[in-house]
Amino acid sequence: MPLIRLEKASLAYGHRPLLEQVDLEVRRGERVCLVGRNGEGKSSLLRLISGETAPDDGSVWRRPGVRIAQLTQEATFAAQASVFEVVSGGLPELERLLSEYHRAAAGLAHAPGEAAVAHLAELQHRLEAAGGWQLEQRIEAVLSRLGLDGAAPMHTLSGGWGRRALLARALVSDPDVLLLDEPTNHLDIEAIGWLEDFLAGFQGALLFVSHDRAFMRRLARRVVELDRGVLSSWQGGFDDYLRRKTERLAVEAQHNARFDKRLAQEEIWIRQGIKARRTRNEGRVRSLQAMREQRRQRRERIGTARLRVQGAERSGRLVFECEHLRHGFDGKAVVQDLSTRIMRGDRVGIVGPNGAGKSTLIQLILGELTPDSGKIRRGTRLEVAYFDQGREALDPALSVMDSVNAGSQTVTIDGRSQHVAGYLRGFLFPPERLQSPVGTLSGGERNRLLLARLFARPANLLVMDEPTNDLDVETLELLEELLMDYPGTLLLVSHDRAFLDNVVTSTLVFEGAGRVGEYVGGYTDWLHQARKAVAGRGTTQAQARTDSGPAARPAVKLSYREQRELEALPARIEALETEQAELQERVSDSGFYRQPGEEIARALAQLETLNGALESAYARWEALESARPSR
């Protein structure tokens, strides 16, 4: 039995329909990823499911008693609210009681008295009767796992830590259905890893919106796409969805091309004159009218962004060189003894926990801060373009058009003048949005506008601080291609693991206590090198302990049974993938959900079993391959 069901639900804002007669079911234990381009209406769909808004037409059914929790992109709370009070808001039935108890306990510490003690005892009794202590322990456990201080005022937290607090608020209620809207935004890689582990073990239904491809690959077991007002369901993981979506778009393009060709032929025929309107041709005329209406109602896919960085004079070969760089605040080292060299054309990723000092390092390198000790040598002819994650370069009161080039109607790209409206079309801003205030834009639209502003200026050094937040997958991939072909130098701060892997050539990693390690390659390369370094230290220590003893034991070889298992695994994986693909094709058929409920449940359970078997087979293959001695 489903927990949530949408039937023929429609929703529109103004003249633009976001949802058109959509159907959707969410069942217990499902992990569903909702994808779609920026502005398609994904957040609106989550609000519809949660009950925050109602559909214009159709119905939304929720199983009686179902608990739904939601993490939104934006949230409001009292100015002086503590983190504990905000998180306890995820438990509305006990929020007031728990908050009152904590205020009373704090008051007793400052002003002890019999009345205060009695009031605290009464609140304690009421909490015990309602099972509040267990719930408080749950709140404290979630706060601890996310590294949050319950007593800290919310208004003092940075964007990333505030996001953690709102995430804790959603998690603490132990919901049947958990709705997450861009949960990884502003989280560092360590927190994202914890969140993935937590959600992988979450027993309720999970419906999340994300553009973090590594996150989607880890968690999604079904992908629901919102495209031009229509929902389509794709059973399986994110990579399965990408492959089959590409195939479907190719079929759709062929169908539309054939339709448009036939329509063009009919338009030529109707222009032949009076003979087209004779009685014997009335059916053909009516058919043409129907085709015109069908073509008029066709909703085209949102265009593809055209991203291009304006060229600048080449910088000197050396861009930056740091020697024994050190900087700290209040006696705490943020950067400790860093020596590195960045050359023209390098693409350097900067990785570390929130608050580790990534932005401080960028400010030191750019000369905005003076180091406590050490030297920084900067190259010649540097032209810097800076993308800040706070989007502080954007004035919320200015219009979209006026934000690009200080109110000028034109921009100059590679020596050629271009009207701002045409330039912004390349960043997916239609004419009706050009006069909209920046403050009304969505997160994804603001990021695209900041990219448009950034790329309108010549630069040979791009400094980008979390540029991927809120960008849809297609725009992310285009930005990746642009940065991979960029002839200048790139400094990239990001928590998007797939983006780092695809773009950077080396990585600076904040490893604690101000230490910054330098590694070749992206995020995954860093992980492999770090693990080898740890293993190497362990081997060195073991060798030191056995130098005076017997000779070291030879490497362990695979047993005969393990060798046979390794040889058989590729065929087994291929058979499982074939069976998975056939079942996924069946599940994706439009008539699948018209079957009896037990048939649907059996097929979905079988597919889940296949997905698990494939994951286990791949993990076993990797384990055996890594254990086999190199030849």
- Band of residue 554 on the pLDDT scale cut at 50, 70, 90: very low
pLDDT score, position 372: 94
Class of domain 560-627: mainly alpha
Q: Dig out the tokens for 569 from the structure.
A: 């695994």
Return the pLDDT at 209. Answer: 93
Q: Give the CA count within 13 Å in the CB-facing half-sphere of 108.
A: 16
pLDDT at residue 164, rounded to an integer: 80
Exposure string over 579-601, b if 16+ CB within 10 A, otherwise e: ebeebbeebbeeebeeeeeeebe
Q: At 211, give phi and psi (nearest 5°).
A: -115, 10
Rg of the chain on CA atoms, in Å: 29
Beta partners for residue 325, in sequence order: 338
459, 464, 468, 470: CA torsion to nearest 10: -90
- Say which residue the tokens 């129907």 belong to: 290
pLDDT value at residue 555: 43
Quote the CA–CA distance of 162 and 159 in Å, as a whole number.
Answer: 5
Same fold, 306-383+458-546 and 560-627: no
CA geometry: angle at 373 spanning 367 and 377, to 5°?
A: 45
The Cα–Cα gap between 303 and 44 comes to: 21
Task: Please report how many Cα atoms fall inside a 13 Å half-sphere around the Cα of residue 75, on the Cβ side.
Answer: 24
Fold classification of 4-241 (topology level): Rossmann fold (3.40.50)
pLDDT in tens, 263-283: 777 666 666 665 555 545 666
The predicted structure's pLDDT at residue 157: 80
Q: Give whole-number Cα distances, 250 to 4, 280, 408, in Å.
A: 32, 37, 40
pLDDT value at residue 285: 66
At 307, the pLDDT band (50, 70, 90 cuts) reads: low
Among the listed residues 217, 220, 209, 221, the one whose alpha carbon sits nearest the alpha carbon of residue 49: 209
- Residue 129 or 479, more confident: 479
- Nearest CA-CA partner of 222 in 479, 574, 592, 500: 592
pLDDT band of residue 26 (cuts 50, 70, 90) is: very high
Instruction: Say how far apart CA 434 and CA 425 lie, in whole Å.
Output: 10
**pLDDT band at residue 73 under the 50/70/90 scheme:** low
What is the CB-side half-sphere exposure of residue 33 using CA atoms within 13 A? 29
Angle at which helices 159-171 and 132-145 cross, to 10°: 140
* Annotated domain spans of the chain: 4-241, 246-297, 306-383+458-546, 560-627
Digit-coded pLDDT (tens) for 84-119? 888 887 776 666 676 777 777 777 777 777 777 788
Q: Is the per-residue pLDDT at 74 higher than 80? A: no
Q: State pLDDT tens for residues 413-423.
A: 767 888 888 88
Contact 55, 228 (CB under 8 A): no
DSSP string, 210-233: ---HHHHHHH-SEEEEEETTEEEE
Q: What pLDDT band is residue 387 in, cutting at 50, 70 and 90?
A: confident
Q: Which residue has the higher pLDDT, 135 or 171?
A: 171
Cα 415 from Cα 408, distance rounded (Å): 16
For 329-374, the pLDDT digits (tens) are 988 899 999 999 999 999 999 999 888 899 899 999 999 999 999 9
- 558 confidence band (pLDDT: 50, 70, 90): low
φ/ψ of residue 302, rounded to 5: -55, 140
The pLDDT of 66-91, averaged and rounded, is 80
Q: How confident is the model at residue 6, as a pLDDT?
A: 94
Question: Tell me, what's the pLDDT at 545?
Answer: 46
Indicate the class that CATH gives domain 306-383+458-546: alpha beta
Range name among 231-235, 495-499, 582-586 with the lowest pLDDT average: 582-586
At 331 the pLDDT is: 83
| Contact by Cβ (8 Å): 427, 448 | yes
As beta bridge partners, residue 508 has 350, 518
Q: In 510-559, which residue ranges form alpha helices assigned H by DSSP?
A: 523-546
Q: Which residues contact 325 (CB under 8 A, 6 or more apart)?
A: 335, 337, 338, 339, 364, 371, 373, 374, 375, 376
